Structure formats: structure tokens, C-alpha cells
A and B are shown apart, each in its own frame.
Chain A
Amino acid sequence: MLDFLQAVSDGVLFGATYALIGIGFTLVFGVMHKINMAYAAASVGGAYAGLLVLQVMAGAPPWLVFLGAFLAGGVLGWMVYALCFHFIPLSNPLATLMSTVGMLLLIDEVIVHVTAGMPQNYPAMFDDVMLRAGEFSMRGDLLLVFAVSVLAMIGLLALLYRTSLGLATRAVSQQPVAAQLCGIRLVRVNALTFVVTGLLGGLAGAMIGASVGTLSPLLTTPLTVKGLIVTVIGGLGSIPGAILAGLLVGGFENVLQLYRGVTERDLYVMLLLFAFLTFRPGGLFAAKSGRD
């Protein structure tokens, strides 16, 4: 029983990073009704770029690396928008899907080339801290990952629900034609959505690096798949759904890892996807359609 609780707790804490990745997918979908397949790869790319801080400034504290990853993620988000969406006809439903898949592979290739395919060590904070309650314990570095992710989510929700930019974003996602006629520039809102999701992604990538201890190009594909699963389970376009689904998938896979081993666990995560698609295709929170 204790093992089970421990696995759930560790998994849910780590699942906060899945939630961030899911939010990135779901937010772009909500605003543009497009899937950005390159999102998880760009997030890992942002995390790698954060390591450049250590190149420039040897012995830089980990939080500076995280900050670097956060900012690099935003820049990458903008680049993904510029290359994969801005000049590509949005009316063709497959064009941006293809361009973002291409971008995913491109980012992968760049990472492999720059690091010669070698996994890179990633700094962590509070990794020597361990909170204990009897046999039950919580890793300090995972608690930090969780706290940073939650803060990022709160920041995003404040941006969406408390600022005029957020209002404009929600207006565009619900009724793009009327939003334009209300004087909102679609192109600007779209680009800003990519920058904001990119920032979140860079942070998520850094948090994943910090809790795993290394970054490797092998991360991008599973993370892309898990981000999409989280998005589907949460309900396309739903931010609360993505948060809940991220934590759920994190806990679920860690429990299965405990009982079935690390090589078998993702198999069940995939089965969970099919279960949702069959029995609850709209996800936990099917997005209300305010859009025609």
C-alpha cells in the first residue's frame, strides 16, 4: 500500500510537466484549431538551449538554466509559428500538420547533431532534500518541479482571465471573425499564443530535465505522444482538463511502472488513450463550442 501511495505521489508530482505540455497543445488548438506537433520537441529544445547558460557561465546556478530554458522556449515557440503557420495556408487542414511534423524532426536532428547524440546532464535544485513522514517520502527536486509548474499554470490562467491580452485570445478562440471586426489582429494573437505556450514548454522541458537528471533526444517522441494523450484525455481545448489529465497520466504511469516495470508502463498509457477515445472521446472536459 505504501509503495502504491509513494508511486502515485511521485507520479503526480512529475505529471505536472505533462500538464504543461498538454496545456501547450490544447491552447494552440483552442485558439487556432490546429495541432502543433512540434510542441514537445520545441520544449525539449528550449530545455537544451537552457544548458547554453552553463557554456557561457560555468557554475551558473540551476535556476538560471531554468530561466534560460523558459526564455529559449518562447523564442522557439515564435519560430515554430513563423515557419510552420505564418506563411502556410491555414485553410488547408493538413498543411500545418505536415509542417509541424517536419519541424519536430528538424528539432530532433538539430539536437542530435549539436550534442552528437549524447545525453546531457541537467542541473536540479533541492535534489538533496527529502521530506519524510515515516516510510513515506517526497523528493525535494520533484516538489520544486511541481511547484514551478503550478506557478506557471497560475500565471497562464491569470494572463488568460485577468488581462486584455487574455480576453482577446479567448475572443479569437470563440469567434475569430467577430474578433477581427472588433479590431483584434488575428495574426498577433496567434503569434503571441505560440510565444506563451513556448515559454511554458521551455519551462516544462527544463523541469523534466531536472527531475530525470539528463536530457536526451530520445525524450521528444514519448513526450509528444504523452502531450497528445494528455490533451485528448483532458478534452481538446480545455486547460483545466489538460492539467487534470497531466497529473492523472503521471500518477497512472508511475503506478504501472511500479507493478509492471518501466518497459511495460507506456503500453498501458496507450491503452488508456484508446479507452478514452472509445468511451469518452470528448475527454474529461469536452470544450464547450462557442465557435461555428
Chain B
Amino acid sequence: MLELRSLARHFGGVRAVDGLNLTVQDGQIFGLIGPNGSGKSTTVNVIAGLLPPTAGTILFRGEDIGPLPTHRRLRAGIARTFQNIRLFGQLSVWQNLWVAQNSAEDLARRGFFTRWLGGQSGVRDEIARLLEFSGLAHKQNELAANLAFGEQRRLELARALAARPKLLLLDEPAAGMNSEEVGQLRERILSLRGSGVTILLVEHVMELVMGVTDRIAVLNFGQKIAEGTPAEIQAHPAVRKAYLGGEAA
């Protein structure tokens, strides 16, 4: 599904990502962890097309998507959520989903003017399903800016799913959540398994990462220091060292 080959992204002299090799298989839920500043978010930004890579290639379903402009990535099948929430605050919950859904169906090709707001029944059904999935059906006419924090996170996830992506990038979806909300998020992510979407999960909350992922890669200083199943990672000495800062226990 996704393959990074010697991916690098430098900011001046800082090597945020430095020769990263990574392969995510179809249908996997893949965890990307590491201390602050280890290059996780930069990796997501490069895959999503917000930052051009300094070097290396990004293969998505066998094709090099490096030259693909940002707005085309969604159509190619890549959607993401943001660590700091980026909803369309002055649009309603329903419209937030509609924008993504509509774009997924190629806004440009079908033309801007061809359809008036309201959408076809297929689109409406899909949005209704997503509202149900994220528990926001009763808030569909609320402005996104007026939602509670946890609801905004759920809406971001729903908006990313609205585009029916093949690869979903989740950038710290549990940040700022209490443990009950993390539990709900975990159920949601697990329910996506088998729906055909591959997930790259960047997360600090170990409870979530260890509970949902099939495989985990650990970054430190922009490089991969370990990769394996959650159980292997938990036992890995280099990981403990990177996280605890001391010598391997």
C-alpha cells in the first residue's frame, strides 16, 4: 500500500526525517511512535503532500506520488486528520463532511456548478452513515466551531473517512482525550479494520497504539530504530532507551 524509500526531509540543518524506509501492507493498522521531535508528524506531512521531501521516494499503491500536488492526494486515496484540529469552523457538521465527500468524487471534473447544495441521495446516505459512526447525528446542523473538543476530533475522523480513502493518516488522534474517549476511539479504529482502509497511526498514547496496531515502527532523530509487532516493540531494548532516556532496562 505504502512504501517509503530513504525518505528525508530537512529543515535547514535539522534532519527531521533522515533516510526513512517503511512498508505498510494493505489493510494493516500501522503504528508510528517515537519521542517528541522524532519526525513522526513530518513524515505524515510529507506523505500528505504538505511538505515536499528533501530526498527519497513515496510509493503509494506502487506509484511514486512525490510529484502529486496536495489537492490531488485525496483523489489518489490518501486522507488525514490533524494533531491540532483543522475543521471548517463556520460550516456545519454536515457541510464539513459534504466538502470532503464531494471532493472525493472529483469536484473539478464534475464541475463546481453542476450540483446545488444538498447532494444526491447516495451522498446523503453516506454522510448519514458517517454521522452515525461518529455519534454526531444529533449535531449535524451545529457549526463545527461550536462542538466540544472530543466531538471535533470525531468529526475530523469522519471527514477523513468521507473521502473513502485507501490510506488514512491519523496524526495523534487521542491527544487531549480522557481514557474513556480513548476507549471509544479505539473501538472506532478497530471497527475500520476489514473495511478496506489501511491506517497509519501516529500516536503518543501507548494504550491506544498497543491495542489497535498490527505492526509498529519506532522513530528517533528521524530514523527508524525498531520495527515489529506491538509485543516485540514493548520488549525492545532500543525503544525503552529512546523513551526512557536511560540505558536499556
Q: Do A and B come from one complex?
A: yes
On A, residues with C-beta under 8 Å from B are 161-168, 170-171, 174-175, 177-186, 188, 192, 288-292
A177 touches B50 (CB 8 A): yes
B11 within 8 A of A: no
The 0/1 profile, CB within 8 Å of A marked 1, for residues 79-111 of chain B is: 110101011111100010011101110111000
Contact A167 B145, CB 8 Å, known A178-B82, A184-B103: no
Q: Determine the residue in chain B with the shortest Cβ distance to A159.
A: B113
B95 touches A167 (CB 8 A): yes
The 8 Å CB contact of B91, one of A165, A174, A188, is A174
Chain B interface size band reads 35 or more
Sorted from nearest, which 8 A-B pairs have the closest CB atoms?
Answer: A183-B103, A290-B89, A165-B112, A183-B74, A178-B86, A290-B90, A180-B70, A182-B100
Task: Give min CB distance, B152 to chain A, whole Å.
Answer: 12
The 8 Å CB contact of B88, one of A175, A180, A185, is A175
Instruction: Kindly list chain A residues whose C-beta atoms are within 8 Å of the C-beta of B106.
Output: 183
B217 within 8 A of A: no
Task: Give min CB distance, A182 to chain B, whole Å.
Answer: 5
Q: Determine the residue in chain A with the shortest Cβ distance to B105.
A: A183
B117 within 8 A of A: yes
The 8 Å CB contact of A178, one of B87, B90, B102, B112, is B87
A163 touches B90 (CB 8 A): no
Give complex CA distance A31, B70 in Å.
18
Instruction: Kindly list chain B residues whose C-beta atoms are within 8 Å of the C-beta of A174.
Output: 88-91
A168 touches B112 (CB 8 A): yes
Contact A181 B80, CB 8 Å, known A164-B115, A167-B95: yes
- Name 20 interchain pairs, CB-CB below 8 A, sorted by A: A163-B116, A164-B115, A165-B113, A167-B98, A167-B117, A175-B87, A178-B86, A179-B88, A181-B48, A181-B49, A181-B73, A182-B159, A182-B163, A183-B72, A183-B100, A183-B107, A184-B103, A185-B71, A288-B90, A290-B145
Task: Give min CB distance, B16 to chain A, whole Å.
Answer: 18
A164 touches B102 (CB 8 A): yes
Q: Determine the residue in chain A with the shortest Cβ distance to B117.
A: A162
Give complex CA distance A74, B181 in Å.
50
Contact A168 B80, CB 8 Å, known A183-B71, A183-B75: no
Instruction: Kindly list chain A residues whose C-beta atoms are within 8 Å of the C-beta of B104.
Output: 183
- 5 additional contacts (CB under 8 A) given A180-B71, A182-B163: A164-B107, A170-B90, A181-B49, A182-B99, A183-B74
Task: Give min CB distance, A287 to chain B, whole Å.
Answer: 9
B91 touches A167 (CB 8 A): yes
Instruction: Kindly list chain A residues whose C-beta atoms are within 8 Å of the C-beta of B74.
Output: 181-183
Task: Give min CB distance, A193 to chain B, whole Å.
Answer: 12
B107 touches A184 (CB 8 A): yes
Task: Give min CB distance, A110 to chain B, whole Å.
Answer: 32
Task: Give min CB distance, A168 to chain B, whole Å.
Answer: 7
The 0/1 profile, CB within 8 Å of A marked 1, for residues 59-74 of chain B is: 0000000000111111
B86 touches A177 (CB 8 A): yes
A171 touches B91 (CB 8 A): yes
Contact A167 B99, CB 8 Å, known A177-B86, A181-B73, A290-B145: yes
Q: Determine the residue in chain A with the shortest Cβ distance to B114.
A: A164
Task: Give min CB distance, A159 to chain B, whole Å.
Answer: 9
Task: Give min CB distance, B110 to chain A, whole Å.
Answer: 9
The 8 Å CB contact of A175, one of B49, B69, B89, is B89
Q: Determine the residue in chain B with the shortest Cβ distance to A288.
A: B90
Task: Give min CB distance, B181 to chain A, whole Å.
Answer: 22
Give complex CA distance A288, B89 in Å.
9
A178 touches B107 (CB 8 A): no
Instruction: Kindly list chain B residues whose C-beta atoms are within 8 Å of the C-beta of A170.
Output: 88, 90-91
Instruction: Kindly list chain A residues whose C-beta atoms are within 8 Å of the C-beta of B72.
Output: 183
